Amino acid sequence: MSLTGRRVAVVVSLAVACGRPLAAQSPEQTLSRAVVAYQNLEFDLAAGLLRRVLSVSGSDTLATASRPRALAYLGASEWFRGHRDSSAAVFRRLVLLDPRYQPDELVFPPDVTNAFAQARRDAKVVAVRAAPELAFQLGEGRYSAWLLASSSHEIAVTLVHEDGTLVRSLYRGPIGDSLEVVWDGNDSTGAVVRSGTYLVRVASHAPDGHTLRVAQARLDVAIVRRDTLPVTPVPPDSLVLPEMGPARHPLGSLFAGLLGSVTVAALPAALASGSHPTDARFAVAGAVGLAGLVGFFTHQSRPLPQNVAANRALRDTWGHRAQAAAEENARRRKDVHVVVRTGRVVVIDGESL
């Protein structure tokens, strides 16, 4: 083998030997190598490594928290390579990923930071920050989410059902740096929404009104209601006492009184005919007849005061219990809790809308 051939063989062997360790490195290690290359002003190498690590998907993909840093170094590398358009595109991609990201001014020169700031101003996008899970009582609490903007622009925040049906318009207007959007759990008609999946959409608008992009977060809403008390049953008939006494035999009293009255009046004629009785017997006869007449009317069915009072107490007790149960149920119907679980935020570019 000639000298040239031997040199080529060494270079190829070294390249193969160097290639094997590169394929086994983690994305974080690759990122670190890219940063070292950037610091050594090896912008081509740094850009190559960063593009490779950012393009990997699946299990070997770069961690989400490291991607903004990788994009920042890539944008700076492209800037120093003289690829302004590529740099701007990378910075725009970074802004879309994290609208609140700020490149470290101690690491990147002003030219790079200014380029990033311009990309940030041009890329109008909003990030949504909300608690992963929030529960509140309907009518008293609210669901809130913070909107963090990359720059001032017009936005429209809506709550839509997962099928796209508009539920409520939450905000329409400008956003400066940040904005808190709240939702009370009701739809546009004021009624509480049903349990299900919703999307909170933040649409960023250009000055001419067209939609630049939409950031939407998935909301899993669960409406929790307290069980109401069962209806208080009416007291059974077996507990209700008769309120009227049995009617005795009124005609018997009337007949006995009449017979007694006649007997008194007829005694002298029957037992002492021919005598001269006084009229005193008629007074007694009248008293007996009157007593029979009174008995006729009083023998009618009479109310039983004790039973009437007992039944009244029974009905009052049932009424109080039913009223208390109705009031408790009214309180429970108002005691509605809304549990909202916020999912991942997805940014949809305007061109895709």
Residues that bind another protein (CB under 8 A): 248, 252-253, 256-257, 259-260, 263-264, 267-268, 270-272, 275-278, 280-281, 283-285, 287-288, 291-292, 294-295, 298-299
Looking up tokens 């929790």 gives: 224
CB of 283 to another protein, least distance (A): 7
Q: Which neighbouring-strand residues pair with 100?
A: none
Closer to another protein at the Cβ: 156 or 293?
293
Could you tell me the smallest distance in angstroms from the CB atom of residue 301 to another protein?
Answer: 14
The minimum distance between CB 259 and another protein, in angstroms, equals 8
Residue 243: CB minimum distance to another protein, A: 20
Output 106 or 270, the one with its CB closest to another protein: 270
Among all chains, which residue has been given the structure tokens 């903004």? 68
Q: Which lies closer to another protein via its Cβ, residue 135 or residue 291?
A: 291
Smallest distance, another protein to C-beta of residue 241, A: 21
CA distance 252 to 282: 22
- What is the C-alpha separation between 303 and 309, in angstroms, rounded? 11
Q: Tell me which DSSP letter residue 2 carries.
A: -
Q: How far is the CB of 244 from another protein (least distance, A)?
A: 16
The DSSP secondary structure of 257-288, one letter per residue, reads HHHHHHHHHHHHHHHSTT----THHHHHHHHH
Neighbours of 205 (CB within 10 A): 18
Which among 140, 155, 147 has a CA at the least distance from the CA of 185? 140
For 152, the 3-state DSSP assignment is: coil
Residue pair 275/230 in contact (Cβ under 8 Å)? The answer is: no
